[in-house]
Structure 1
């Protein structure tokens, strides 16, 4: 005759069974394949000074660009339709677009040798002017149903005179460069080209606008 199980032994068996199920579930989790890491892309255009860029005997500081979170993100934004925003799967920027823009401008102006001094804000340079940037677009855009996307960058720029905080010049810049295919590496190459063109255009505008304001503030023959 089999002795009936006591309530305590039945409860023990249930606990052991639950523990075994948890252990098996843990093994299943451990055996899952790790998620694939996103490929990081880092556009790094090297912009040569244009022959038309003037020399400037004043100093400039660059403030960190402002931008909406979806724009200044490590995810690569793509606009498949005018009112739709997505991101490329398995791809990301190595650094945010705002940082890429500031780095490209700083390097281009420094390497040009056309300006007395240029540095990031807070570096200790006693700048005469400050560049304020609002990054409005940094996206792969298919426009109105185009077969290939275009790397699109839009920036609103203001050049402020530090002494009185008045706007010396302001302008909105837009650059679009079509990708050769829809593949992410080709889209990134288009961004590299668009960023280079934008940097070259902005560099010349900064130097010319600052010089024009200096001339208006200190005409020839007057003391600065």
Structure 2
């Protein structure tokens, strides 16, 4: 075979190989379609109270591996961990919690100098936490959204913990559909954020009075 005929045949061989690859790919299972869900929120009224002359950084909670992703976690029975098929959060659970808490502080208005751990800005205090639960759990056949958070109020300059508290919120869903469970998460997130705002301001006020 001449060099010229070998060169001419090479594109045809490549085309045949490509066609075979495409044919093989077509028999692979298609990716599961996933619906993205935002964490629902209700607007909170601003507090009618004096503003605190402090700056606060809201940090993203640490979490275990099964809570660090975007899938909506469910415990259908006992300690068995599963996920809702075809459904996902718009962001990882720790980010959703941080953003909900940050928005609650901003809506409250008593601490105007706010930042998050996305930017390394100076802050008098930092709200640090561990996310222990962000999941749906079944009780007597009814799912409920469960959020459990271990919070710490820290002075970044000294790394001293000035206060800590464990928060847990449970909100039954109105049904077993994913949309209904997501709404329960939204209500639970609002309740958790409101408790965190009140506790943080109480602790910060007491700290400044010492």
Contact in 2 for aligned 1:157/1:171 (Cα 8 Å)? yes
Q: Which has the larger radius of gyration?
A: 1
User: Which consecutive residues of structure 1, in runs of 5 or more, have no partner in the other structure?
Assistant: 1-19, 217-224
Return closer, same or farther for 1:25/1:104 CA change in 2, 3 Å cut-off.
closer
TM-score, length basis structure 2: 0.83
Cα distance between partner residues in 2 of 1:128 and 1:192:
30
Query: Which of 70, 75, 78 is matched with 1:74 structurally?
Result: 70
The answer to whether the Cα contact below 8 Å between 1:47 and 1:199 also exists between their aligned partners in 2 is no
Preserved contact between residue 60 and residue 97 of structure 2 (Cα < 8 Å): no
**Gap change, CA 1:31 and 1:70, over 3 Å in 2:** closer
Deviation at 1:29, TM superposition (A): 4.6
Q: Is the 8 A contact 2:46 2:109 kept in 1?
A: no
Q: Is it true that 1:189 corresponds to 2:193 in the alignment?
A: no
Q: Match of 2:130?
A: 134
Residues 50 and 204, structure 1, Cα contact 8 Å, conserved in 2 = no
On the 8 A contact 1:176/1:194 being kept in 2, the answer is yes
1:115 is aligned to 2:111: yes
Q: Does 1:176 align with 2:170?
A: yes
Aligned pair count? 194
Cα distance, 1:27 vs structure 2? 3.6
The match for 1:57 is 53
RMSD: 2.5
Give the Å deviation of 1:60.
0.6
TM-score when normalising by structure 1:
0.78
Unpaired segments ≥5 residues, structure 2: 1-15
Q: Give the distance between the partners of 1:171 and 1:53, measured in 2 at CA.
A: 24
SS in 1 for 2:151: strand
Which whole-Å deviations, capped at 9, do the CAs of 1:47-100 have from their partners, x for residues lacking one? 415758763211111222100110121111100112211111111111011001
